[in-house]
Structure 1
């Protein structure tokens, strides 16, 4: 399993996806603990039978997405956080997290540094971040044609938690590295709390060989985005820091809905493995 984070010019999301064989999903794990309430069992059953939500910016043209109230808001300091996390995850598959410990100054500094990557020449991008799936620089060869249609995806970078570069450059990615590690740490906490709410111990953070975190950074785009997780499946969770007010389309099993997370909250989507 792997955390994978993606970022547009407006925001930096974080996802968990697997590049090695993923650990057993909750439904396949030997359960040495008993879920103590029928409500928790029902929530778990609902969670495991849902389709993972996908996140994208709405089309520039008129959208057919249904309107939706703001995503459920969970505070990390809430004493009932575990129960509310499981409830929101089973019912919707997404939520917005507040009172986390990632400062807005760090997110803004990371965004500034990530924008500098797009100022490199094409040769510099390819030499500093050569393709080595899932890592590296990626460019849409049909950018010009798609931009005319308003659906261009643009260029993107997929980085590890160290934001490693292949060659020595003058790029300063200190804040981006710190931000990526902070999102990874937060993601592991959320996974542990979700596991605890379902009645078993994940202990995933104790073995770094069981997961991988990826930071996905992309250009701004309009139109549907067919790779809400950066194209990495299966993944566990996606974390996206809301730097500014932005409306998104979420594809749920019931259809597409439009949501507007709070500024400085973190949008959390549960991926295939978590669900």
Structure 2
């Protein structure tokens, strides 16, 4: 697999970077990876977040910690109803404080956090609020205070017990950056066309493989059958429509790329443990 390798620019006389990315419409949505660890706080926007083989809806307040060389992207719904997308992002290399720093005995909890981040970590609740506050403070501080605040963030996260790990162990272990860019092309094809017919045969054509060979290839690298991957993408989009749009369950079914209402209801319940109607009514009550 070969997502786009991105070079993260660190300002001169700085050991790590913090940037506020603001777009008038949508995030670029580039499927990419880099050597730096990444902490991303979504300030404004909604859509689908993809980390490794994990796909989930995101909204303002979404906070994730992504390990080095883990492919990821944020893609907005089209059109972006909010009209603006903004994120605050910290990037740092593992050796930004010197190669042996995180090998010190006192740093073993943070070292363990960095190891777990190779699958991506979602942070929620009080801890997310605390980290978001520290990130915004780093924007305005200089000198040693910036480094101390970043270390404080890592300390807080290393003590966070309810880590919600995102990507599967199988996906992380299967990443091979010397492989062809087939899987990258397939991911992009699915994300751009999942509301239409994205059959296994069409995806196989994008990958320039036979359907049988592609089926083995996709499952071998993502540890998930192709059809299940597509279904989960569609259900994630359906959840957004059920919550944010004034649409009937039948309308959501077809807008999400399903052709059969009965099948949509069955697949939705198998993933969310709720019927679409129940899911919609629960959120409407909030």
Q: Considering the TM-score relative to the shorter chain, is it more than 0.5? A: no
Range into which the TM-score falls when normalised by the shorter chain: under 0.3
Query: Which of the two has higher C-alpha Rg?
Result: 2
Question: Which of 1 and 2 has higher RCO (CA within 8 Å, sep 6+)?
Answer: 1
- Relative to total residues, which structure has the larger helix share, 1 or 2? 2
What's the TM-score, normalizing by structure 1?
A: 0.28
- Relative to total residues, which structure has the larger strand share, 1 or 2? 1
